[in-house]
Chain A
C-alpha cells in the first residue's frame, strides 16, 4: 500500500503579483509521472486590446507587454504590419533597428547572467548576495547592462518602452556624432563582455542534454537578431508567413497557456539562445566566435545550464555588431519610409533574447487592426521545459524535497522564462506516492 502525500515544498522569488506560476511534480515510487509548469500567461489581453486600433499603434502597445524585451515586441509587430502593407524596411533604417535590438540583447542577457544565473553556479542564493561578496563582478555586469541601455536610449529615445520606433523606421535618426560617443562606451564594454565569457566558462555545469528539435531564425552571413527566416535542427525552413502552419499551439488541461509543437512532429521544440547558437554558430562575428571556441562551446550546445555561456557569447556578438553598425553608419536621408495601409495580413518574426517572437496582424483597407496574434518564445518553450525537467528530476529523486526544489528552480532559471511581466512566484509542489 502506498501512502499519498502532498506538500508545498518551497516558494522562490518575489512576487509583484502573487499566485502566478507553479511547478507541480507527481512521482510514483521511483518514476516521475507528471511535470507541470504553469508560469506563463500569454498576451491574449494584448491581442484583444489591439483589435480596432490603427496599424501604427502596435509597436507602442506591444512594447508594454514586456519591460525586459520591448524592442523584440516592437520589431516583430513592425515587420508584420510592414509586410501586410507590402513594405520592406531596408538599408540604414534596418541597420538602425538591428543596432537598437543589439542594445536589448546586451541589457537583457547581462541582467540574467549576473543577477539570476551566475549566483547558482557560485553557491549564492541570488544576485544580491553575490553583490555583497563580489562587488567588482556585479559592477562589471551593471556596466554591460548600462552599455545596452545606452544604445536603447540613443536609438530608441529611452531604454524602457522605446518611443522613437515606428512603422516604417523611426521618428528621428541620430547624428553620427551621437553614435560615435556610444562606440567609445561599447569598446570598453567589449572587454567586460569577453571577461564575462571567460568567467562563466569556468563554472561547473550539471549534466543535462536535451534532444529537442531546435528552432531559430537564420540570416545567412550574420547572426540572426532582428529578422530572418525560420530554420530547425530537423531540417525545416520556412518564412514568417508559414509560422502558424508549422507551429501548432494546443490547449493542455493544466495550463491557461497554449503548448506549442512543430507540425508533423509529436515532439516539443526549443527556441532561444541554445537553438540560436546551435543553428547559427558559424555566423558569429570574429571575436564572439573566438570567445565561444575558447569557452569550449563547439558548434552546438544542448545543455540548458550552459546557456549562460551562450548568452555571454551573444553579448560579445551584440557588442561587436553594434560597433560595426556604428562605424558604418551614415544618417539615412529620411527617418522612415512611407507605409500605406491596405487590407491584408502580415507576419513578422524576430529573435527576442529568449527566442523566436512571432506576430500576425490582419488589417482592413483603412488600416484598422482586425485581428492580432502574438506567440512569444516562452509559450513555445513551455512544453520543452517540462520535458527537460522530467528528465532532470528523474535522476534526482533521491534528493530531499528542499534540495529538489532548489535544483528545479535553477534548471528553470537557465531558460529565463518570460513570466508575463510584473508577476512572479514559483511554487513547487511534489506529490510522491
Chain B
C-alpha cells in the first residue's frame, strides 16, 4: 500500500500547545515534517471527536499522537496501541473504564462539549462505521498539564524516541 491515490495515510498530533505536555502531539508533527513521504498528511487537532472522525474517515491508515494522563506508567513512558475495528455491522460497546491511551472510554456524557476527546472520537467512529482501515495510537505518559509551553523533563527526553517510533510506523505503512 502507498499513500498515493485514494490510499490516504494521515498522521494527527492531538493536543494543545499551551498546556505543557499536552502539546506533545503537535510537537511530534513538527518534527516529522520533511522526514516522511510528501503524500503523507500531517495534521494537528484539538481532539474534538467529530473533527477527528471527519479527518480520518476514508483514510487507509491514521496514526494519532497524544499525551497520556492517568494510569500507573512513569512519565515519559511510550505507548502504542492498534485500535481493532469491530466486525462489520456489529457495534462494540465501550468497556467502562477501559483506557484508550489513558483516556477512559466515556460511560456517561461529559459535562461539557469541551470534555470530549480521543476516546469519544474512536467510539463515535466505530458506531458510525467511520474508523480508518488501520488506526494506530502513539502516546507518551505526561505529568505536566497546567498552562505553559514547557514540556516536563520526562516528556522532553521522550520526544525524539516517540517521533522515531511514529516515523517508523509511517514508513512501514507507506512502503507496504
Q: Which residues of A contact B (CB under 8 A)?
A: 12-18, 21, 39, 41, 44-46, 49, 64, 66-68, 108, 111-112, 115-116, 119-120, 125-128, 131-132, 135, 138-139, 142, 145-146, 149, 159-160, 406, 409, 412-413, 416-426
Contact = CB atoms under 8 A, between A and B. Distances in A.
Given A16-B103, A111-B48, A132 B91 contact: yes
Contacts of A426: 110-111, 115
A9 to B, nearest CB: 12
Contacts of A64: 16-18
Given A17-B145, A112-B113, A67 B22 contact: no
Contacts of B147: 41, 44-45
B16 A116 contact: no
Contacts of A115: 49-50, 109, 113, 116, 120, 124
B157 interface: no
B18 A45 contact: yes
A126 B106 contact: yes
Contact of B124 (A12, A119, A128): A128
B50 A142 contact: yes
Given A126-B110, A424-B112, 19 more contacts: A13-B109, A14-B105, A15-B69, A64-B18, A111-B48, A111-B50, A111-B113, A116-B109, A116-B112, A116-B116, A125-B107, A128-B120, A131-B128, A145-B50, A149-B51, A409-B111, A412-B112, A422-B19, A424-B111
Chain B interface SS verdict (over half): loop
Contacts of A125: 106-109
A12 B128 contact: no
Nearest to B148: A45
Given A68-B113, A417-B112, A422 B106 contact: no
Contacts of B70: 15, 18
Interface residues of B, number: 43
B110 A116 contact: yes
Given A128-B106, A135-B128, A423 B115 contact: yes
B113 A131 contact: no
A66 B112 CA distance: 13
Contact of A128 (B94, B117, B118): B94
Interface string B12-27: 0001111100100000
A265 to B, nearest CB: 27
Contact of A160 (B51, B91, B124): B51
A267 to B, nearest CB: 24
Contact of B110 (A12, A138, A149): A12
A57 B71 CA distance: 38
A404 to B, nearest CB: 14
A55 B72 CA distance: 44
15 contacts: A13-B115, A14-B117, A15-B104, A41-B147, A44-B147, A67-B114, A115-B120, A126-B106, A127-B120, A128-B94, A128-B124, A131-B128, A135-B127, A412-B111, A416-B112
Contacts of A45: 18, 147-148
Contact of A131 (B46, B106, B114, B124): B124
Contacts of B91: 132
